[in-house]
Amino acid sequence: MPNIDKHAPGSFSWIELATTDQTAAKAFYAGLFGWEPADFPMGPDQFYTMFRLGGRDAAAGFTIHGPMKAQGVPPHWGLYIATDSADGTAAKVQAAGGKVLAGPFDVSDYGRMAVFQDPTGATFSVWQAGKNTGTGITGVPGTLCWADLNTRDQAGATAFYRAVFGWEATPGQDASGYLHIENGGQPIGGIPAAHQTNPNAPPHWMLYFLVADCDASTAKAKELGAAVFMEPFTMEGVGRMAVVADPQGAAFSLFEPKPR
């Protein structure tokens, strides 16, 4: 089981579910991915859920409250990017035309974080590891394996993330216009061309979870109450994927890689 002990700066290092029903979400993801939830108090009548696989942290979840609730933020999966300095990244974000939505601030002695919005409108966070390095497992079913930035401004997004994290965006092998994000030469995600995105959806990061059988996992998600936005389909030479939303409405993708 491939463990992660440290995340390279610019890599995807943590994922977090913001939901309206934490108890229901725990049951859904435990049923779908075999995640083992562990709850930690974080204030009056609130708790933070760590989702674990094989004893390692795979993700987390919390109930939408406070300003997020007041602003009507819907259930969603949030993405964190590793940094050696949350404050330094905040300065780069502002210089490149992004917005600082929260922070930088310390999360006890676990680490330091900040929440940003890129110039195209997509939100993301950064994590400067302290005691907690972030996700501790990869490469097995139920772990994050990819993330796509869905935006109408591919060129603007490419320039922003290159300036902030040093990412390179390279064209795929086909002529679709899809760009692969590389961090230090390592492919980690992508930016679809504008025509490949939903024009009615605001700019957002879409998380992909590794599964052994996309069709079986999609059927299981349905059985557990998920909505299916995109039924399983094959991307030639890549693998099979589907797009679903958990019963509270947080969307994500399931991905079964092509056998090697």
pLDDT at position 232 = 96
Q: Count other C-beta atoms under 10 Å from residue 9's C-beta.
A: 17
Structure tokens at 164: 């902030």
Residues 6+ apart with CB under 8 A from 132: 57, 107, 110, 111
pLDDT at position 234 = 92
Q: What is the dihedral of CA 65, 68, 74, 75, to 10 degrees?
A: -50
Angle between helices 154-165 and 86-95 (to 10 degrees): 140
Residue type for position 224: L
- Spell out the domains of the chain, with CATH numbers in brackets: 12-129 (3.10.180.10), 144-257 (3.10.180.10)
Show pLDDT as tens, one digit a residue, over the chain (260 residues): 588 889 999 999 999 999 999 999 999 999 999 999 999 988 778 889 999 999 999 999 999 988 888 888 899 999 999 999 999 999 999 999 999 999 899 998 999 999 999 999 999 999 999 899 999 999 999 999 999 999 999 999 999 999 999 999 998 777 688 999 999 999 999 999 888 888 888 999 999 999 999 999 999 999 999 999 999 999 888 899 999 999 999 999 999 998 87
Between the alpha carbon of residue 18 and those of residues 48, 73, 102, 157, the distances in Å are 10, 9, 16, 24
pLDDT at position 177 = 87
pLDDT at position 184 = 94
